[in-house]
Amino acid sequence: MKLRFAGTRGEIEPRTDRHKLHTALLVIHNRKKVMIDFGRDWAGRYNEVKPHAIVVTHAHPDHVFGLVQGVPCPVYATEYVWRDIADYPIEKRVNIKIREPFTVCGIEFEAFMLDHSTRCPAVSYRITAGNRAIHYAPDVVYIHDRAQALENVKIYIGDGATMQRSFVRKRNGNLIGHTPVKTQLGWCEKEGVPKAIITHCGTEIVTGDEQDITRKLNEWGAERGVGVRLAYDNMEVIVR
Contact 174, 134 (CB under 8 A): no
Instruction: Give residue 70's pLDDT.
Output: 97
124-161: per-residue pLDDT in tens? 999 999 899 999 999 999 999 999 999 999 999 999 99
Alpha-carbon gap, residue 162 to 113, rounded angstroms: 21
- Residue 219 belongs to domain spanning: 2-238
Alpha helices in the chain (DSSP H): 46-49, 61-64, 79-84, 146-150, 181-191, 203-206, 210-224
Cα–Cα distance between 195 and 229 in angstroms, integer?
8
167-213 pLDDT, tens digit each: 888 888 888 999 999 999 999 999 999 999 999 999 999 999 999 99
Write down the pLDDT at residue 223.
Answer: 98
pLDDT band at 102 (very low <50, low <70, confident <90, very high): very high
What pLDDT shows up at residue 18? 98
CATH number of the domain enclosing 87: 3.60.15.10
Strands 123-129 and 32-36: unpaired
Total number of domains constituting the chain: 1
pLDDT at 172: 87
pLDDT of residue 175: 87
Radius of gyration, alpha carbons of the chain: 16
Is 54 within 8 Å of 41 (Cβ atoms)?
no
Model pLDDT, residue 171: 86
Q: Cα–Cα distances in Å, from 142 out to 1, 66, 138, 155, 192? A: 26, 26, 11, 17, 17
Outline where DSSP puts E strands in 83-187. Answer: 93-96, 102-104, 107-115, 123-129, 132-136, 142-143, 155-159, 167-171, 174-178
Q: Which strand (E) or helix (H) includes residue 24? A: strand 24-29
Over 90: is that where the pLDDT of 22 sits?
Answer: yes
The answer to whether 206 and 11 have CB atoms below 8 angstroms apart is no
223/168: higher pLDDT: 223
What pTM, to 2 d.p., does this model score?
0.97
Measured CA to CA, the distance from residue 113 to residue 144 in angstroms comes to 6
d(Cα 193, Cα 209) in Å, to the nearest integer? 27
**pLDDT tens-digit readout, 51-97:** 999 999 999 999 999 999 999 999 999 999 999 999 999 999 999 99
| 181-191 vs 210-224: helix crossing angle, rounded to 10 | 30
| Residue 141 CA from chain centroid, whole number | 13
Alpha carbon distance 164, 197 (integer Å) = 16
Query: Which residues 6+ apart lie within 8 Å of 82 measured at CB?
Result: 93, 95
The pLDDT, as a whole number, for residue 207 is: 97
Report the C-alpha gap between 119 and 227 in whole angstroms.
34
